[in-house]
Amino acid sequence: MMQRFDLNFASSRSEGHWLGMFLLAIAALATAKLVDIYVTTKGEIGHLETRIAQFERRASGIVPRVEIAEATVKEIRHANEVIDQIALPWDRLFKAVDAAASNKVALLGITPDQKSGTVEVKGECADLATVFDYVKRLEQQTSLGRVYLLNHQVNAQDPQRPVRFTVTASWMQTTSRL
């Protein structure tokens, strides 16, 4: 016959009770320490935020914040454009174009583009050979670079058949402000 087992899950033994109480006490101490660290850190953060606010108030008294109106920004940009136009190396450009000049070429216009640092030279002459000769003379100028013939057109309606042309060249370093 089988023997009967006596299973008692609610034991009255006290061995495990002391171990549980010990672990509970350690957990309570660790929790208390973490709460202390949290409270201390929170106090330090509050103190530092107060100091930052004091410094900001002092700084705002020293240097007032300036709101620049859009109209003022536009005026500043326009003034900078005018300054940039005045500061352009006009003398170098005109000397280079003048040095390449020929009595066979009539200049019709010089159009500088400050933003790209290029210039377009428009002119008219008797034939294409003169155009190519003029482009060569422009290429020889040290203050001009990347000289190219953009286009040319023979005026067939004129009995002398003059050639109009456009040459482009780089002539300055680009700069930008605001």
- The secondary structure of 6-54, three-state, reads CCCCCCCCCHHHHHHHHHHHHHHHHHHHHHHHHHHHHHHHHHHHHHHHH
Domains located in the chain, CATH noted = 89-170 (3.30.1360.100)
Say what the pLDDT of residue 32 is: 92
User: What confidence tens digit (pLDDT) does each residue in 119-150 have?
Assistant: 999 999 999 999 999 999 999 998 899 999 99
Retrieve residue 105's tokens.
């070429």
User: What confidence tens digit (pLDDT) does each residue in 41-89 have?
Assistant: 999 999 999 999 888 888 776 655 567 777 888 888 888 888 877 777 7
- Band of residue 172 on the pLDDT scale cut at 50, 70, 90: low
Asked if the model's pLDDT at residue 169 lies above 70, the reply is: yes
Asked if the model's pLDDT at residue 117 lies above 50, the reply is: yes
**Is the sign of the CA dihedral 138, 140, 141, 143 positive or negative?**
positive
Q: How far apart are CA 90 and CA 108, in angstroms?
A: 18
pTM over 0.85, yes/no: no
Say what the pLDDT of residue 10 is: 67
Retrieve residue 75's tokens.
């005026």
- Band of residue 175 on the pLDDT scale cut at 50, 70, 90: very low
Identify the residue with better confidence: 19 or 47: 47
Percent of the chain with pLDDT over 90: 39
